[in-house]
Structure 1
Amino acid sequence: MPDQSEAVRQRDEARPAKEWARILAEYREPDPIRSSFELAVTLGPFLILWCLAWWSMSVSYWLTFTLSVCNAAFLLRLFAIQHDCGHGAFFQSRTVSDWLGRVIGVLTLTPYDVWRRSHSIHHSSSGNLGRRGMGDIQTITVMEYRQLNPLNRLIYRLYRNPVVLFCLGPGYLFFIQNRVPLGLMGNARFWVSAMCTNAAIFVWVALVLYFGGLVPILLIFLPSTLLAATAGVWLFYVQHQFETTHWDADEDWQLHESALKGSSHYVLPPVLQWLSANIGVHHVHHLYSRIPFYRLPEVLRDHAELAESNRMTIRQSLHSVRLHLWDEESRRLVSFAQAKAL
């Protein structure tokens, strides 16, 4: 008797990428009770750890710092909830989702409406060589790199350096770039989003300074925010920057094909998967972004091919840091050294 699971896997492999969008639509409905629970078990510990860290300043600054580092994990998860709000995947009510996203945006230093728009552009253009530059990691082709002058080559190499991407970049993105609606400057709505978020951030930071001075800023706010930002940038990087990712010229680009082949399945230990709100199941998310994060594992259980597609372990993801250029001939992301040898 043939193996039924193998038959299911072969059937799934035969499905075109576009058909997955229809299949995955059945997972799109959020459960308001489950969503409320996920919010409670994320926001609650975040606030408790903030209070404990504040209290611990009278005991030990090292304890304060340690608690703030732990709290970065819950801040990262709050950003993931904000992310689902932006996709309309957290609550059925768009109004409730949007206002929750705006409130969380004050904690994550992210103007919600600006981010939602730029992230929407990312979803609608990911893997399209003709529409790069909004909400993605800057990536150029081998041919484009060869055509750059020495100065611009140096600038690109510096940009793709891990120190810049993962040490300097997160702080710049969340503390500086997010203060203005970069790329959307011509729309008053996005200026309102950015400035209102900035004002709310200013108020709560001012309150922290007034009641606690500079110490809670240095030992609670900055460590948790910077660490969460760094983890977020890393996750975003490995979601699309891997050797067998998918890029096409504008005339050949297809949305669902790019979603399936150009997004990774980042396999994390259960604790890290929970703290990152299953965002590692990124290929499924790009195929159907309205699926709540807590239903993504359900998709993998039901569809064997998606569970195996573009799997990337933590060890394998470290290799992606050395990949910098898209080679249109081999259809691979390659390193500067590999590009030189081509």
Structure 2
Amino acid sequence: MASWVLSECGLRPLPRVYPQSRTGLTSKTTDLLKLTPPVSKSYNLGSSIKVSGWSGQRNWALNVAVPVSVPVIEKEDKERESVKGVNEHEGELFDPSAPPPFKLADIRAAIPKHCWVKNPWRSMSYVVRDVAVVFGLAVAAAYFNNWAVWPLYWFAQGTMFWALFVLGHDCGHGSFSNNPKLNSVVGHLLHSAILVPYHGWRISHRTHHQNHGHVENDESWQPLSEKIYKSLDIVTRTLRFTLPFPMLAYPVYLWSRSPGKKGSHFHPDSDLFAPNERKYVITSTACWTAMAAMIACLSFVMGPVQMLKLYGIPYWIFVMWLDLATYLHHHGHDEKLPWYRGKEWSYLRGGLTTLDRDYGWINNIHHDIGTHVIHHLFPQIPHYHLVEATEAAKPVLGKYYREPKKSGPLPFYLLGTLLRSMRQDHYVSDAGDILYYQTDPKLYGPDKTE
């Protein structure tokens, strides 16, 4: 008996044991088996084939009778990597779309109990620190008022606006404290200051976490279906996948959501919200409007150019940080990651397709938001415990956790990752329950998509 693997590209031999091409078999057995990649786990392989492996996996180990004996290479067992806690059976390869052999409770049990404790005093200390830095940078920039200083100020202040957003984001998840009123007050102050409608965004972000990895139901940077993608005009399609325009998308998303979806984060009657959430949305929209009015008044007092330098440009740097981080926490891995729909989706499987990212010096500044996998699975954990919780969970996650590439002091390497993903990850098929991004070769031309 010889083991064969049915992969995304068809029936192929295990590495080094059988040297045939991935495109087919040279044995006479190929005349008996005419197989194509399965669309879902309901695909019928035939009664004459014995199928083994985890239920629901897309990589199937097939025991096929062959007329010749094949020598076993002794080094095979040593060179084949064992997937700790995932696939330990002989002949199985890791499939990121397969249901994991552990449960959410197993990950939770591995995380130390103190990681779940929310300390409001510690949380407020980060708020005081960040607000002090924001005002200090603004005062320093206004004092020097020098074009050698302004670019440094814009990057630093935009990054601090992003840090304020992350703290408000913790308020929205309830990981800031156990006091809902404190979370709401701090969340409104922080998010309104950077023109984010706190409750409107909080509710839609909750939807994102509850449906992460689901093609239709996810709320943030989910794939476009092939039908929606092809319905977009060429200008919209090009702008969506051409830098820097996708990195300026957040304000547009707040007003009109993503292509194929309707509603606004500012309108209480939007289908984003339940009827009993109208009052929350109205409150947040009123706070947002008050901040916008304050900026307009300051523009008259200080002059529009000065307000542009002090607030306007840092705001757009913040927007780029937000779009960059939220996109790369769900896209751009070296190997394509699955998206799901229908019965294949689960909260755990969707969460395991998220990615951690290393931001170098900025990890501490923006409160370790790069530890995104554990945050997605357990958003109740305060940001200051995420690193420890992630380390504790790694032995359980095995290869379902993808170690992030280490960054230098500043994460410039992420720009290359972003560019590559934008050129390759365009849409997913309208059919099937386990999906991978496909590339439109006509979007940039064949010479630019390689």
Q: TM-score, normalised by structure 2?
A: 0.63
Q: What amino acid sits opposite 2:84 in the alignment?
A: Q
Cα distance in structure 2, aligned partners of 1:21 and 1:247: 23
Cα distance in structure 2, aligned partners of 1:266 and 1:16: 24
1:30 aligns with 118
2:245 aligns with 164
Q: In structure 2, do the counterparts of structure 1 residues 17 and 272 end up closer, same or farther at CA, with 3 Å as the change threshold?
A: farther
Cα distance in structure 1, aligned partners of 2:86 and 2:171: 30
1:66 aligns with 152
Say which is worse superposed, 63-72 or 308-317, in terms of deviation: 308-317
2:421 aligns with 320
Cα offset, 1:227, TM superposition: 0.3
Contact 2:157–2:314 (8 Å) recurs in 1: yes
Cα offset, 1:86, TM superposition: 0.5
Tell me how large the CA RMSD over aligned residues is: 3.2
2:223 aligns with 139
Contact 1:65–1:219 (8 Å) recurs in 2: no
SS in 2 for 1:265: coil
1:226 aligns with 316
2:78 aligns with none
Residues 171-219 of structure 1: per-residue CA shift (max 9 Å, x gap): 5346997772365477632541343123321343144224312122111
Contact 1:76–1:228 (8 Å) recurs in 2: yes
SS in 2 for 1:336: coil
Cα distance in structure 2, aligned partners of 1:145 and 1:206: 38
SS in 2 for 1:296: helix
Alignment counterpart, residue 297 of structure 1, candidates 383, 387, 395 = 387
Alignment of 1:182-331 (within 5 A): 183-184=271-272, 188-242=278-332, 243-260=335-352, 262-269=353-360, 271-305=361-395, 309-313=401-405, 314=414, 315-322=416-423, 323-326=425-428, 331=435
Q: In structure 2, do the counterparts of structure 1 residues 66 and 109 end up closer, same or farther at CA, with 3 Å as the change threshold?
A: same
1:80 lines up with 2:166 in the alignment = yes
Cα offset, 1:42, TM superposition: 1.4
Q: TM-score, normalised by structure 1?
A: 0.81
Contact 1:65–1:223 (8 Å) recurs in 2: no
Cα distance in structure 2, aligned partners of 1:138 and 1:303: 26
Contact 2:299–2:307 (8 Å) recurs in 1: yes
Cα distance in structure 2, aligned partners of 1:234 and 1:109: 18
Cα offset, 1:154, TM superposition: 6.0
Say which is worse superposed, 271-280 or 326-335, in terms of deviation: 326-335
Cα offset, 1:65, TM superposition: 4.5
Contact 2:212–2:351 (8 Å) recurs in 1: yes
Cα distance in structure 2, aligned partners of 1:22 and 1:216: 53
SS in 1 for 2:437: strand
Cα offset, 1:36, TM superposition: 2.3
SS in 2 for 1:303: helix
Cα offset, 1:153, TM superposition: 6.5
1:92 lines up with 2:92 in the alignment = no
1:44 lines up with 2:132 in the alignment = yes
SS in 2 for 1:263: coil
Residues 110-129 of structure 1: per-residue CA shift (max 9 Å, x gap): 11111110000111112112
Say which is worse superposed, 75-84 or 323-332, in terms of deviation: 323-332
Contact 2:336–2:436 (8 Å) recurs in 1: yes
Residues 54-109 of structure 1: per-residue CA shift (max 9 Å, x gap): 3233xx24424532331111111110001111000012212111110000012121
Residues 216-246 of structure 1: per-residue CA shift (max 9 Å, x gap): 2111111110001101101000111235333
Could you list the runs of 5+ residues in structure 1 that have no partner in the other structure?
A: 1-8
Residues 274-317 of structure 1: per-residue CA shift (max 9 Å, x gap): 12321111111111000111111111332334597123433545
Q: In structure 2, do the counterparts of structure 1 residues 153 and 140 end up closer, same or farther at CA, with 3 Å as the change threshold?
A: farther
Cα distance in structure 2, aligned partners of 1:91 and 1:192: 24
Q: In structure 2, do the counterparts of structure 1 residues 62 and 106 end up closer, same or farther at CA, with 3 Å as the change threshold?
A: farther
1:109 lines up with 2:185 in the alignment = no
Q: What amino acid sits opposite 1:283 in the alignment?
A: V
Contact 2:188–2:284 (8 Å) recurs in 1: no
Cα distance in structure 1, aligned partners of 2:420 and 2:243: 12
Residues 133-160 of structure 1: per-residue CA shift (max 9 Å, x gap): x3x1241245x468x45x5576444423
Alignment counterpart, residue 10 of structure 1, candidates 57, 63, 84 = 84
Cα distance in structure 1, aligned partners of 2:435 and 2:287: 41
